Structure 1
Amino acid sequence: MDKIKMITPLVEMDGDEMTRIIWQQLKDILILPYVDLKTEYYDLGLVHRNETDDQVTVDAANATKKYGVGVKCATITPNAARMDEYNLKSMWKSPNGTIRAILDGTVFRSPILVKGIVPYIPTWKKPICIARHAYGDVYKNTEMRVEGGSKAELCVTKPDGTEERSLIFDFKSDGVIQGMHNIDKSISSFARSCFNYALDQHIDVWFATKDTISKTYDHRFKDIFAEIFENEYKDKFEEAGITYFYTLIDDAVARVIRSEGGYMWACKNYDGDVMSDMIATAFGSLAMMTSVLVSPDGIYEFEAAHGTVQRHYYKHLKGEETSTNSVATIFAWTGALKKRGELDKLPELAEFAEKLEKATIKTIEDGIMTGDLYLISTLQNKTKVNTEDFLKAINERLTAML
């Protein structure tokens, strides 16, 4: 068969460790034989980020703004141990945080459901979509070590030059301090993205913060959501038969555990990071989660929501066999190809991506899966395969569908 032609390139952001190995295998086995792939490539591996002083991450984000669709591999956010391992010039910030700040969107994450993988929460019958604000908070924080005897204050210099100060803490002994920020514009974009996505998916929206403790910062989120909903979306939600409500995040956690699923749970940035991992794991696996960043002006960046699978990578370097789940990475590619096909009016590209998703799910439901799923699958006849053989098994089904 002739390869499917593309018009506009995807922005391709390569990553680190085992997911980088899977990235290339996936393209070689599942995409390049069928698609005349056009990408603008950026190497976001930690080595190259260090060589470019992380400018490559900024360039990749700006390219995504230019072309409208990007697909990203999992990347390392370095800690002290990584500083030594990679001989880094600096402890570079999270690439995801940098990209999200530039695109200023909302991350939507939903579990990929397959037969044989039963959620750990017995009441969950439908997917729970996590909507994660993708700007500010801890990902753009400022931190300091504080010497005992110091006094820390929050100081804002107003446009007229006057200052407003508030005591944070009078340190009698050594400690640490952290400053975070957000902006009304980004919070408003977050709210509208959530409400629009809920209308598109026909699901309720739950939003949760801790405004009883954070009476200014978190309460600002609550107020903006309420104002936008009342003024712009209330009638639309009533017409669609869906609801919006706000609650404290600890109450939301209790409600989520008792629910049957089938709604959007909107969270601030770090809350969404933690809760999406919890949701993914409780549904079965971190590698069974879709993730897409959607900006207010219609920019899409698809990614795998999990890490770089460091332990498997070290096994791979020793020549040992690995059985690493590639489903989230596959769905990052299919999401990007579907969106590219939709925007460029290439139905054959979108249809190919749909079939690749179906082939992936069918492979698992046929009992062929990687080690993480093998341990939790309830299927009677199942086989654990290695990383590459899983991709080849998907390709057999994809070929049949095509």
Structure 2
Amino acid sequence: MAEPKKIRMRTPLVEMDGDEMTRIIWQMVKDDLICPFVELKSEYFDLGLRHRDETDDEVTVNAAEATRRLGVAVKCATITPNAQRVEEYGLKQMWKSPNGTIRALLDGTVFRTPIVVRGIEPQVRSWKRPITIARHAYGDVYRNVEIRVPGAGRAELVLTSADGTERRELIHEFTSPGVIQGMHNLDASIESFATSCLEYALATRQDLWFATKDTISKTYDHRFKDIFADLFEASYKERFEAAGIEYFYTLIDDAVARVMRSEGGFVWACKNYDGDVMSDMLSAAFGSLAMMTSVLVSPQGHFEYEAAHGTVQRHYYRHLKGERTSTNSVATIFAWSGALRKRGELDDTPELASFADRLEKATIDTIESGQMTGDLARITTFPKPQTLDTEQFILAVAEHLRP
């Protein structure tokens, strides 16, 4: 029987390779699930830690610039080095998070949604529908400046205006060692964040929640609250009413309590760090860190799809020893399907978007047939799941994908 004709792509997408076990999975997904069916066109960037170090992290900037040019990117999980990694890899310096660099350059919002499958039940019994986290992707602790205070001293926050005038606020009079952290954000970035969240809620017809702690942070967090409120009242209130959806603001601690009692099915907008923490909480509560989609959306309409989890270091070291691993590849598969679907939509190639739909269905069908990786087999409600290793699961998806 002749091999089926491969789907052609009009425009390349940006491909950002990564680190450790997810780099191994990345190649398997391409070899077994993408390239047999699609004539893949991509501009390749190696964001593996060693290559980032060799290029002084210029490769990360180049990948972000290519995303602005081509409009769609797919990214593998990457290492954000700590002191231990600097020593392990012999790095020139402790490079910043590539995700943080890309998010800052694209000024985007990260939307993360759990992948719901039969047999993997949410830990919170009231949740019936997925909850999407909208994470601001600029500033806060990810762009901070820190000082280790060795002893007694006076710490001040100083703003020097363009005309040379200064404004000073006392942070603390230190009488003993401590630490200082300075954070910032930009009105323009907050407005982009608010716009992306409001547009996403309208596009998906879901309520939008936004939460900070403005009762404590009366200037910083309150600025977020005001920008969201002003934009909603000026441009979105009537559109939300027509769509039958709601926007409301609440404190972050109240939002957590509301989320735990909800049925799901809404968008929860969070500041940068809050979104980082809450998306991991939601993904784990819905089943697994490897069962969540993640897409960075810029105000200009650029899209970067990625797996929301890390590089699975422990499995990688086992893989290097030749030991069997059972690493969940679902988030990586869905990163590729999301990017291919968006490329198809933007290029008006419906066959490519349709393939992305089939790839996701094949992945879900594999799990719902009882074939899954070890992380899911430990929590499934199916009585006798078949636990597959890393490669076996991807090959099982390929079987479900074939016509």
Q: Shorter-chain TM-score: what band?
A: over 0.9
Length-normalised TM-score, structure 2: 0.99
Question: CA separation in 1, counterparts of 2:174 and 2:55?
Answer: 38
Question: CA separation in 2, counterparts of 1:38 and 1:295?
Answer: 22
1:32 to 29, 32, 35: 35
What SS does the aligned partner of 2:402 have? helix
Whether the 8 Å contact between 1:147 and 1:171 is mirrored in structure 2 is no
Structure 1 residue 131 corresponds to structure 2 residue 134:
yes
Amino acid aligned to 2:233: E
2:208 to 205, 214, 230: 205
2:249 to 246, 251, 254: 246
Question: CA separation in 2, counterparts of 1:189 and 1:110?
Answer: 20
Runs of 4+ off more than 4 Å: none
Question: CA separation in 2, counterparts of 1:51 and 1:23?
Answer: 22
Question: CA separation in 2, counterparts of 1:389 and 1:395?
Answer: 10
Amino acid aligned to 1:193: S
RMSD of aligned residue pairs (Cα, Å):
0.6
Amino acid aligned to 2:67: T
| Partner deviation per Cα, 1:260-308 (whole Å, 9 max, x = no partner) | 1010100000100000000000000010000000000100000000000
1:314 to 303, 313, 317: 317
Structure 1 residue 4 corresponds to structure 2 residue 7:
yes
Question: CA separation in 1, counterparts of 2:82 and 2:193?
Answer: 29
Structure 1 residue 88 corresponds to structure 2 residue 106:
no
Question: CA separation in 2, counterparts of 1:158 and 1:294?
Answer: 33
2:101 to 98, 102, 122: 98
Moved more, 376-385 or 18-27: 376-385
Question: CA separation in 2, counterparts of 1:34 and 1:286?
Answer: 28
- What is aligned with 2:371? 368
> How much does 1:379 deviate?
1.0
2:194 to 169, 191, 194: 191
- What is aligned with 2:174? 171
Question: CA separation in 2, counterparts of 1:91 and 1:277?
Answer: 24
Question: CA separation in 1, counterparts of 2:109 and 2:36?
Answer: 33
- What is aligned with 1:151? 154
Amino acid aligned to 2:276: D
Whether the 8 Å contact between 1:77 and 1:93 is mirrored in structure 2 is yes
- What is aligned with 2:77? 74
Question: CA separation in 1, counterparts of 2:348 and 2:199?
Answer: 22
Amino acid aligned to 2:28: Q
| Partner deviation per Cα, 1:133-181 (whole Å, 9 max, x = no partner) | 0111111111111121221111111121101011111111111111111
> How much does 1:381 deviate?
3.4
1:302 to 289, 301, 305: 305
Amino acid aligned to 1:271: D
Question: CA separation in 2, counterparts of 1:151 and 1:94?
Answer: 31
Structure 1 residue 63 corresponds to structure 2 residue 62:
no
Question: CA separation in 1, counterparts of 2:23 and 2:174?
Answer: 45
Aligned residues: 400
Structure 1 residue 283 corresponds to structure 2 residue 283:
no
Any gaps of 5 or more consecutive residues in structure 2? none
| Partner deviation per Cα, 1:32-57 (whole Å, 9 max, x = no partner) | 11111011000001111111111111
Amino acid aligned to 2:166: E
Structure 1 residue 399 corresponds to structure 2 residue 402:
yes
> How much does 1:65 deviate?
0.4
Structure 1 residue 329 corresponds to structure 2 residue 328:
no
Question: CA separation in 2, counterparts of 1:176 and 1:85?
Answer: 27
Length-normalised TM-score, structure 1: 0.99
> How much does 1:380 deviate?
2.2
> How much does 1:101 deviate?
0.1
Structure 1 residue 258 corresponds to structure 2 residue 261:
yes
- What is aligned with 1:118? 121
Question: CA separation in 2, counterparts of 1:2 and 1:101?
Answer: 40
| Partner deviation per Cα, 1:347-380 (whole Å, 9 max, x = no partner) | 1111111100000000000000000000001012
Q: Percent identity?
A: 71
Any gaps of 5 or more consecutive residues in structure 1? none
Question: CA separation in 1, counterparts of 2:175 and 2:59?
Answer: 43
Question: CA separation in 1, counterparts of 2:177 and 2:383?
Answer: 58
Whether the 8 Å contact between 1:130 and 1:275 is mirrored in structure 2 is yes
Amino acid aligned to 2:116: L
Whether the 8 Å contact between 1:211 and 1:219 is mirrored in structure 2 is yes
